[in-house]
């Protein structure tokens, strides 16, 4: 009898209590129903649908002697008009909205549709192709800006909700969990550092909000991994801290200021300690500091260089004009080189 109580009854009671706790925590405290309606109600008004249009000219317009003809052609309404859709997140009450760069890039017109059914045009404030982020602004005030959370407080396994405009159906919410943090190497950019989620993200969700169960923004949905083009349960969001930092830079300077040394780093060594320097731009900051192709980069400002993405992000985080110390190995000799960072050239 004692064994029955120990091995069956007690675990059963504990399991029941844990189950009740999970149900209670997932219950909407406003309605008493299980789910995350309260979080959605808080965040949904801050998520907008974005529709863009652009006019593309015939390829012949790339030839200089036909430019006058093309200008007249465009003034008469010529050119092929194309449209696309996406999502955005209101981050300031005075009309500033964060979205993906690929949603608004090359757009001739940007239309923003709000949760309450109203719509207006927006202007592009600035963009950062390196992180695929852009900031647009509408001429409005007292908008429902989203509350922001912190990715540092997010753990793998936490519930995540994606809000956006998939396939142009209108605002839609999908639920999942945080599948991974710090995903690097997903895009060619050395500044990718994604949250991974299995919340359904589809075309049109780009630029929308990834929120936690408190209705706080934790990421900007940006891309999916899919063989079919639809959601396969592997979606990626840009961390909110990255998005807010880009917002601040674009508002202050019109561009994102990143440190740059003019080097190309290779894969980490088999030992995991150090990176081979594949190329050093002649005349660049690292070249002037004495770095050469074939050197091994061991550390940047004392922080070990374990992979190219991590080292590139560390260099980029340095203010242009500041000094960084590169610990390198050359011919089995350890050297410290001091380089002065420059402003990273802007990409298109």
Structure tokens at 238: 């840009």
CB distance 55 to 109 below 8 Å = no
Structure tokens at 178: 């945080």
CB distance 222 to 132 below 8 Å = yes
DSSP-based three-state secondary structure for 88: strand
> Which residue out of 132, 193, 198, 295 is catalytically annotated?
132
Tell me how far apart the alpha carbons of residues 183 and 86 are, in angstroms, rounded to a whole number: 23
> Which residue out of 192, 206, 231, 305 is catalytically annotated?
206
Tell me how far apart the alpha carbons of residues 119 and 116 are, in angstroms, rounded to a whole number: 9
How do 119-128 and 275-280 pair as beta strands? unpaired
> Which residue out of 87, 102, 192, 312 is catalytically annotated?
102
Tell me how far apart the alpha carbons of residues 172 and 87 are, in angstroms, rounded to a whole number: 11
**CB hemisphere CA count around 246 (13 angstroms):** 28
DSSP-based three-state secondary structure for 84: strand
Structure tokens at 263: 């080097």
**CB hemisphere CA count around 188 (13 angstroms):** 2
Q: Give alpha helix (H) positions in 229-306.
A: 240-253, 285-289
> 132 catalytic, yes or no?
yes
User: Exposed/middle/buried for 64, CB within 10 Å: 0-12, 13-18, 19+?
Assistant: exposed
Tell me how far apart the alpha carbons of residues 60 and 68 are, in angstroms, rounded to a whole number: 11
3-state helix, strand, coil in the chain (%, to 5): 25, 35, 40
Catalytic (active-site) positions: 102, 132, 206
């Amino acid at each position: 009898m004692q064994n029955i109580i120990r091995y069956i009854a007690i675990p059963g009671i504990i399991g029941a209590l844990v189950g009740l706790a999970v149900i209670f925590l997932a219950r909407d405290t406003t309605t008493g129903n299980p789910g995350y309606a309260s979080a959605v109600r808080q965040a949904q008004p801050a998520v907008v649908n974005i529709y863009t249009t652009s006019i593309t000219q015939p390829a012949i317009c790339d030839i200089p002697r036909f430019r006058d003809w093309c200008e007249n052609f465009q003034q008469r309404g010529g050119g092929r008009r194309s449209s696309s859709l996406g999502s955005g997140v209101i981050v300031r009450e005075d009309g500033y909205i964060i979205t993906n760069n690929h949603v608004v890039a090359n757009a001739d017109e940007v239309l923003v549709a709000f949760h309450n059914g109203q719509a207006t045009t927006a202007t592009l404030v600035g963009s950062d192709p390196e992180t695929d982020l852009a900031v647009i602004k509408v001429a409005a005030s007292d908008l429902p800006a989203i509350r922001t959370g912190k990715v540092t407080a997010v753990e793998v396994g936490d519930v995540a909700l994606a809000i956006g405009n998939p396939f142009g159906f209108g605002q839609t919410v999908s639920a999942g969990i945080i599948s991974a943090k710090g995903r690097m190497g997903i895009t060619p950019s050395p500044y990718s550092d994604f949250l991974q989620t299995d919340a359904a993200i589809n075309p049109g969700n780009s630029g929308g909000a990834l929120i936690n169960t408190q209705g706080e923004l934790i990421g900007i949905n940006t891309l999916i991994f899919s063989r079919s083009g639809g959601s396969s349960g592997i979606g990626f969001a840009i961390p909110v801290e990255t998005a807010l930092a880009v917002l601040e830079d674009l508002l202050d300077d019109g561009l994102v200021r990143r440190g740059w040394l003019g080097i190309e780093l290779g894969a980490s060594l088999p030992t995991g300690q150090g990176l081979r320097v594949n190329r050093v731009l002649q005349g660049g900051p690292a070249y002037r500091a004495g770095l050469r192709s074939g050197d091994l980069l061991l550390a940047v400002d004392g922080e070990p260089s374990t992979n190219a993405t991590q080292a590139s992000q560390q260099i980029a985080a340095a203010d242009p004009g500041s000094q960084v110390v590169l610990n390198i190995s050359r011919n089995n000799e350890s050297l410290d080189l001091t380089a002065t960072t420059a402003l990273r050239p802007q990409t298109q």
